[in-house]
């Protein structure tokens, strides 16, 4: 192994500057010589102008950061540590799509040199780093993995839009191909987070730890969504039930909803795929996924059952979570489609989403403002995403937007405290 010593001059290249890579690169640039690489020239151009469309890093921090930015592979030659933060989606059949990871390895192979360390942060199933990434890097570089260059894995833990659990505050799980690599990575990540580092016993253990974090949440939300379906058929609001059950000291605080995004709605399929490869039937994992994937249509059915005939419905929220512009794998679109196939016209407003992305990815024309919508034009207003601005909508605004007898449909319990309308109906999960 190299005698690489970590100094402020140690060159680190972060590959992929999305929700995960950009905050990490900015944090590392406070301590090390860091260059951020992304294949998107538009992304690099925007970041150089101080604009982060993911809304993770504000303009002032970008402008003041020492981080270098590039879309040219040539510029990342000569780094000593490469950190890969590319996405790991699933395909239309919910099979893991490792294309971004493969592509990053094919790009880095000709770039890396002797004694370099390549660290992966992308969420994968146990075995991907050493079974897939290592061999591709070795083939493309002509170097021997574990002798000429080394692997590491440190799972990302950033939640899009979360301004509390940021990369400089969370505990970072780290792993390395050798004890020396492990200690170098402990120094790297330990230098940028006050939450400390946890040294996993192997790369596969670190990969497994990451993938079960989100699978566990998915299963718990799947249980809540299933009891929501049961209680709806019994005429009971699950939020009333959860409020009562939550008085027990060890009751787990999960709420129902549409499970989308790039983590919880995706990562369980990675674990399930690995389970199938070793001839294990991942029944609980896939059962939770099936329930959560069907939740949007269930909600659409419950809403439409309370409306007579056809009409227009206003949906508030398109992103996969509150106060965040991230549209990846949003299940709000499933709800919208469920309303449309049942004969209703649908208008959509989102206070956080980029209208261009909404049109490009989902062919949704977002309404620019609630104020410009016609009076008494909707049979229902559906609260899908609990952006802060939606929580404060007054009763008078619902009375203006809705037809007489119209429905206020509250999926996220945003309006539980709203006074009971005299001429409107109110429903919540």
Region label for 163, one of left (φ > 0), alpha (ψ between -120 and 50) or beta (otherwise): alpha
What stretch of H or E contains 42?
A: helix 41-48
DSSP string, 111-161: T--TT-EEEE-S---TTHIIIIIHHHHHHHHT--BTTTBEEEE----PPTT
From the list 133, 145, 263, 304, the catalytic residue is 263
Residue 422's contacts (CB-CB under 8 Å, 6 or more residues apart) are none
Determine whether 263 is an active site residue: yes
Residue 227: CA atoms inside 13 Å, Cβ hemisphere, count? Answer: 15
> Cα dihedral sign for 43, 44, 48, 49?
negative
Rounded distance, CA 284 to CA 144, Å?
40
CB 133 within 8 A of CB 109: no
Residue 106: how many CB atoms within 10 A of its CB? Answer: 13
3-state secondary structure of 380: strand
Rounded distance, CA 118 to CA 81, Å?
6
Region label for 235, one of left (φ > 0), alpha (ψ between -120 and 50) or beta (otherwise): left
Rounded distance, CA 419 to CA 130, Å?
58
Q: ∠169-171-177 over CA atoms, to 5°?
A: 135
Q: Which of these, 261, 250, 169, 155, lies nearest to 210 by C-alpha position?
A: 155
* Ordered strands of the 345-349 beta sheet: 345-349, 312-316, 378-383, 402-410, 425-428
CB 397 within 8 A of CB 424: no
Rounded distance, CA 371 to CA 144, Å?
63
CB 88 within 8 A of CB 123: yes
3-state secondary structure of 229: helix
Rounded distance, CA 418 to CA 275, Å?
47
Residues marked active site are found at 263
């Amino acid at each position: 192994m190299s005698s690489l010593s970590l100094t402020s001059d140690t060159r680190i290249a972060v590959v992929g500057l999305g929700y995960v890579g950009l905050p990490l690169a900015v944090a590392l640039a406070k301590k090390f010589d860091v260059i951020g690489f992304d294949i998107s020239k538009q992304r690099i151009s925007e970041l150089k102008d101080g604009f982060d469309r993911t809304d993770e890093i504000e303009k002032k921090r970008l402008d003041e950061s020492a981080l270098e930015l590039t879309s040219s592979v040539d510029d990342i030659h000569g780094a000593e540590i490469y950190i890969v933060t590319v996405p790991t989606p699933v395909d239309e059949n919910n099979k893991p799509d490792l294309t971004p990871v493969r592509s990053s390895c094919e790009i880095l192979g000709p770039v890396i040199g002797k004694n370099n360390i390549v660290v992966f942060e992308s969420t994968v199933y146990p075995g991907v780093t050493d079974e897939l990434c290592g061999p591709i890097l070795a083939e493309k570089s002509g170097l021997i993995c574990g002798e000429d260059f080394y692997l590491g894995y440190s799972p990302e833990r950033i939640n899009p839009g979360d301004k509390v659990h940021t990369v400089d505050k969370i505990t970072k799980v780290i792993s390395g191909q050798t004890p020396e690599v492990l200690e170098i990575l402990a120094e790297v990540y330990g230098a940028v987070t006050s939450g400390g580092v946890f040294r996993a016993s192997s790369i596969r253990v670190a990969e497994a730890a990451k993938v079960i974090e989100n699978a566990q949440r998915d299963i718990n939300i799947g249980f809540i969504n299933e009891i929501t379906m049961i209680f709806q058929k019994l005429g009971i609001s699950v939020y009333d039930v959860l409020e009562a059950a939550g008085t027990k000291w060890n009751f787990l605080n999960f709420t129902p909803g549409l499970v989308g995004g790039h983590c919880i709605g995706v990562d369980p399929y990675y674990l399930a795929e690995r389970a199938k490869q070793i001839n294990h039937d991942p029944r609980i994992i896939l059962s939770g996924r099936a329930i959560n994937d069907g939740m949007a249509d269930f909600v659409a059915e419950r809403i439409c059952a309370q409306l007579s005939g056809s009409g227009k419905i206003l949906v508030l929220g398109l992103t996969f979570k509150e106060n965040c512009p991230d549209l990846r794998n949003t299940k709000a679109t499933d709800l919208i489609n469920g309303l449309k196939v049942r004969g209703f016209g649908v208008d959509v407003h989102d206070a956080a989403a980029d209208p261009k992305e909404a049109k490009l990815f989902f062919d949704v024309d977002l309404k620019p403002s609630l104020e410009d919508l016609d009076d008494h034009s909707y049979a229902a207003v559906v609260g899908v995403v609990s952006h802060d601005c939606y929580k404060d909508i007054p009763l008078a605004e619902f009375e203006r937007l809705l037809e007489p007898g119209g429905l206020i449909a509250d999926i996220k319990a945003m309006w539980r405290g709203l006074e009971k309308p005299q001429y409107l109906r109110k429903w919540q999960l």
